[in-house]
């Protein structure tokens, strides 16, 4: 499956309002994964360890983990100040990937906003679906 990439390179010297908006835009994602049978405790232990380190990242604005009633599916909602904050989080997250994959299997991954080309390159392995903001606000 080919991953759709977002256009993230403004024209050289283009300092239009839309370019400034892009440069300051937050990035969010929603990751859904199935917890492997008998691995809930392992998953929760790794998640708690990762979350503790993530709280120290100044550019991570939100990082919340949710679990389904039947405790077989989880979703992680994360929101970052910008692409640099996403890169910092990826550095924190990378040592945990193998352990998380031993206890869970990614099902879907949606990314909201316009991450940099570097972020898109790194996230491509997870086959994200990108959504560009059209309307809305946050407080």
Express each pLDDT in 4-25 by its tens digit. Answer: 555 554 544 554 444 444 445 8
Give per-residue pLDDT as tens, 88-120. Answer: 999 999 999 999 999 999 999 999 999 999 999
Q: 18 burial class (0-12, 13-18, 19+ CB within 10 angstroms)?
A: exposed
Longest dimension (CA), the chain: 55
Choose the CATH number for 26-131 among 3.30.70.100, 3.10.20.600, 3.40.605.10, 3.40.50.970: 3.30.70.100
């Amino acid at each position: 499956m080919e991953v759709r990439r977002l256009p993230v390179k403004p024209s050289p010297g283009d300092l239009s309002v839309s370019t400034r908006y892009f440069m300051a835009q937050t990035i969010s994602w929603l990751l859904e994964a199935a917890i492997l049978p008998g691995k809930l405790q392992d998953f929760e232990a790794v998640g708690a360890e990762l979350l503790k380190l993530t709280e120290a990242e100044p550019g991570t604005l939100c990082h919340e983990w949710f679990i389904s009633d039947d405790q077989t599916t989880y979703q992680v909602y994360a929101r970052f100040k910008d692409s640099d904050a996403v890169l910092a989080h990826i550095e924190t997250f990378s040592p945990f990937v193998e352990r998380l994959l031993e206890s869970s299997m990614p099902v879907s991954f949606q990314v909201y906003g316009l991450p940099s080309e570097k972020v898109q390159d790194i996230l491509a392995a997870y086959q994200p679906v990108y959504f560009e903001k059209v309307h809305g606000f946050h407080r």
